[in-house]
Amino acid sequence: MSWINALCETYEKLKDSPELLKRCSMPLAPPSHTVQNAHAEIFLNEFGELLRIRPLTKAEARTITPCTEDSAVRSSNNAPHIVYDNLKYIAGDAQRYIAKQDNSKNYEKYCSQLSDWCNDENCPNQVKAIYKYIKRGTVFHDLIESGLILPEEKLKWNGDKDNKPADISKTVVRFRVEDKYGNSFECNTNSELMNSYMEYDVKTRKQKSVCFVSGTTQAVTYKHPTKIRTTGDSARLISANDEYGFTYRGRFKNKENVFSVGFESSDKAHSALRWLVSNQGFSTGDQTVVVWCVGGEDIPTPLQDTYDITAGGDPFGDEAPAAIYNSERQYAKLVELAVNGYKYKIPDNDNVIIMILESATPGRLSITYYREFSPNDYLDRIKTWHTTCVWNHKYKLVSKILPDGKQELKHIEFTGAPSINDIIYAAYGRNVDEKQKKHLMEILISCITDGKRMPKDFMNKSLQRVSNPQSFNEDWELSKATSITCSIINKYIYDTKGMNYSMSLDISNKDRSYLFGRVLAYAEQIEDYVLYKSGDKRPPNAIKLRSKYRIQPAKTLMVIDEKLLPYVEKLYSSSTWLYDEMQKVIAEISANDFMNNKPLDPQYLLGYACQKAELLKKHDKKDETKETEEN
């Protein structure tokens, strides 16, 4: 199945699933139609007489608009839509108010197109009423009279501030026709009007050939729709209008020899893609990633972290769902249950599609990544990622909107894989170049869906950043980057050695780097504890010297230990066990491993993180015991 076949099939599924369509504010436009944002709605009676005008809010602005083959791809040429368009086309009196713009030719062509449809025997009466109103040439005057446009020295929009046209002449108007009984005919959502125009449009298209998508003979088009990512997007996926360049010259005589796509197939595919991008696309600059199930079922995406895929219940409720699992077996069971839940809902004969779109130029859109999977194959790859790129995290921030409109935020702890976005930021920082970020995004998606190894660069970059704590402005940023780096290291070790490190402290692990990491956690905890008790906010020496410690662990440890002695003397009697246990861990490092002073492997961070988490647990338990005794 090609990408355009998959989108045509998706369109048919969406068209018959009104519940799915309600999820997105972007309407699914039928063939011969496009989508634009309208700013005002004019109410007419059945004789084409003005009743009233109202401004449209941003939420109701998107409007399905009948279009021609030329208007669907227009940029600056004279190509009006049918029925709904901006004032440059529909206002016969625009030149009276905007002296510098001569829109007479635009208005004439708009009226001519609408007149041709009105002369068709199947044209709805409501369209004829709109044409009668347009021919009066008073649209601009009526908008001023209604108060939506203020006739100041420079014309000013007086409608919804969040749905404001870029220029007054670009104000898009749609229509609604009411009969004598007060029944309203909402033209932009009426299926009778849409079907009537589709039938009319098919009759007016002369060029017919074999559609390479459907395999049938039908009206074809070489002018394919735009507005794929936004209503202002002018980039096209399919184009063959460069007859003087090297688009096809040297291989074919003309564009007809290359391909032919039926206009109906093209419109359906582009409409489905537009809806998918709006509903579930993720954009970084001019790159857009979209993942979907052809049958319309919900599917986890490679962009999500484990909490978004597995968590259930209300995180703001009294009984928030458990999200931290210290047992690897318990966590693996959770992921398996979540994945099996998706498998149960999706038929085996369905397809999962991943597509990455990117603008080569402002007018051209390319597919830089495309994969099709069976549901089971895709979900198994998702499961592998979320059970191998795993660690305990405390940085997740979720939100909900309260009844008064305010936003409530809450930090969530979870076990699992971080999002792709968070991995990139952990390795390259938040100031990563946009072009580089798009490339990194594609690499990580391929790691998940194609089963490729975690690149060593990600591990080295993220390890280098967390080994230099002074580069972080806030403690939570360092904590977040540390847990994400542990996930990356764990994934790299799995990919290269076929094993995962435990997220819990493994006292039986005698790996040199792991043990040195544990020692660093003890040193940091001792100093941090004393500084906290004395109200001092300085960072511990173990943090300041972490970068050197990673490169020359034995030599730096002696420096840390010397600086630590004054803090050990200040430890309360109930906390002296910290230093004693630190010495026990040091004793577990063999003499050869200690004295060679070579740089530590990435596993040192896993040892550090596990020991730090264990120490925090012990302190919490001791504090609870102390409070109980005092009470």
pLDDT at position 363 is 81
Each residue of 253-310: pLDDT tens digit?
677 777 788 889 999 999 999 999 999 999 888 899 999 999 888 899 999 999 888 8
Cβ neighbour number for residue 160 with a 10 Å cutoff: 18
Please check whether residue 228 is in contact with residue 365, taking contact to mean a CB–CB distance below 8 angstroms.
yes
pLDDT at 465 over 80: yes
Residue 512 has which token pair?
Answer: 């040199």
pLDDT at position 620 is 59
Residue 237 has which token pair?
Answer: 């996926």
- The mean pLDDT of 118-133, rounded to a whole number, is 93
- The mean pLDDT of 38-46, rounded to a whole number, is 94
Q: Which residues are CB-contacts of 611 (< 8 A; sequence separation ≥ 6)? A: 505, 517, 518, 521, 522, 585
- The mean pLDDT of 524-545, rounded to a whole number, is 85
DSSP category for residue 555: H
In percent, how much of the chain has pLDDT > 70? 91
Please check whether residue 558 is in contact with residue 549, taking contact to mean a CB–CB distance below 8 angstroms.
no
Each residue of 17-26: pLDDT tens digit?
888 888 888 8
Please check whether residue 237 is in contact with residue 355, taking contact to mean a CB–CB distance below 8 angstroms.
no
With residues binned 3-state (H G I as helix, E B as strand, rest as coil), the percentages for the chain, rounded to 5, are: 50, 15, 35
Dist CA 160 CA 164 (whole Å) = 6
Each residue of 337-366: pLDDT tens digit?
888 888 888 888 899 999 999 987 788 889
DSSP category for residue 364: E
Three-state SS letters, 584-599: HHHHHCCHHHHHCCCC
Residue 314 has which token pair?
Answer: 């209300």
pLDDT at 97 over 90: no
Q: Which of 98, 34, 91 is nearest to 65 (CA)?
A: 34
Kind and range of the H or E element at 384? helix 375-388
pLDDT at position 535 is 79
Please check whether residue 316 is in contact with residue 400, taking contact to mean a CB–CB distance below 8 angstroms.
yes
* 368 alpha-carbon distance from chain centroid: 17
pLDDT at position 124 is 92
Task: Give the pairing of strands 149-150 and 156-157.
Answer: antiparallel
Please check whether residue 94 is in contact with residue 142, taking contact to mean a CB–CB distance below 8 angstroms.
no
Dist CA 180 CA 46 (whole Å) = 8
* Phi/psi of residue 126, nearest 5 degrees: -65, -35
Burial class (CB in 10 A: 0-12, 13-18, 19+), 83: buried
pLDDT at position 267 is 92
Please check whether residue 250 is in contact with residue 258, taking contact to mean a CB–CB distance below 8 angstroms.
no
- The mean pLDDT of 489-499, rounded to a whole number, is 94
Please check whether residue 325 is in contact with residue 334, taking contact to mean a CB–CB distance below 8 angstroms.
yes
Dist CA 566 CA 129 (whole Å) = 90
pLDDT band at residue 72, thresholds of 50, 70 and 90? confident
Q: Compute the half-sphere exposure of residue 407: CA atoms within 13 Å on the CB side of its CA.
A: 5
pLDDT at 8 over 80: yes
* 595 alpha-carbon distance from chain centroid: 50
Burial class (CB in 10 A: 0-12, 13-18, 19+), 317: exposed
pLDDT at 631 over 50: no
Lowest average pLDDT, out of 169-173, 242-246, 274-278, 468-472, goes to 242-246
- The mean pLDDT of 458-478, rounded to a whole number, is 92
- Give the position of tokens 């080994």: 467
pLDDT at 527 over 50: yes
DSSP category for residue 223: B
Q: Which of 303, 284, 305, 302 is nearest to 433 (CA)?
A: 284
- The mean pLDDT of 536-564, rounded to a whole number, is 90
In percent, how much of the chain has pLDDT > 90? 53
pLDDT at position 573 is 62
Give me the DSSP letters along 175-234.
EEEE-TT--EEEGGG-HHHHHHHHHHHHHH---EEE-TTT-SEEEEESB----SSSTT--
Please check whether residue 92 is in contact with residue 139, taking contact to mean a CB–CB distance below 8 angstroms.
yes
pLDDT at position 597 is 84
Question: Does residue 128 sit in helix, strand or coil?
Answer: helix
Question: Does residue 217 sit in helix, strand or coil?
Answer: strand
Question: Does residue 357 sit in helix, strand or coil?
Answer: strand
Question: Does residue 219 sit in helix, strand or coil?
Answer: strand
Q: How far is CA 166 from CA 38, 138, 144, 215, 488, in A?
A: 12, 22, 17, 43, 45
Please check whether residue 42 is in contact with residue 188, taking contact to mean a CB–CB distance below 8 angstroms.
no
pLDDT at 251 over 80: no
Side chain identity at 607, as an amino acid letter? G
Give me the DSSP letters along 62-111.
EEEEE--TTGGG-SSSS-PPSS-EEHHHH-TTHHHH-TT---HHHHHHHH
Rounded to the nearest integer, the mean pLDDT of the chain is 87
- The mean pLDDT of 45-72, rounded to a whole number, is 92
Give me the DSSP letters along 415-444.
EEPPPHHHHHHHHH-TT--HHHHHHHHHHH
Q: Which of 440, 464, 417 is nearest to 310 (CA)?
A: 417
Q: How far is CA 82 from CA 46, 176, 438, in A?
A: 19, 15, 38
- The mean pLDDT of 93-101, rounded to a whole number, is 81
Cβ neighbour number for residue 27 with a 10 Å cutoff: 18
pLDDT band at residue 40, thresholds of 50, 70 and 90? very high
Each residue of 135-156: pLDDT tens digit?
999 999 999 999 999 987 788 9
Residue 613 has which token pair?
Answer: 């988490």
Residue 525 has which token pair?
Answer: 């905890």
- The mean pLDDT of 401-413, rounded to a whole number, is 81
pLDDT at 627 over 50: no
Q: What is the C-alpha end-to-end distance of the chain, expressed in Å?
A: 70
Angle CA 449–454–460, to nearest 5: 155
- The mean pLDDT of 419-434, rounded to a whole number, is 93
Q: Which of 249, 225, 252 is nearest to 239 (CA)?
A: 225
- The mean pLDDT of 91-110, rounded to a whole number, is 86
* 159 alpha-carbon distance from chain centroid: 31
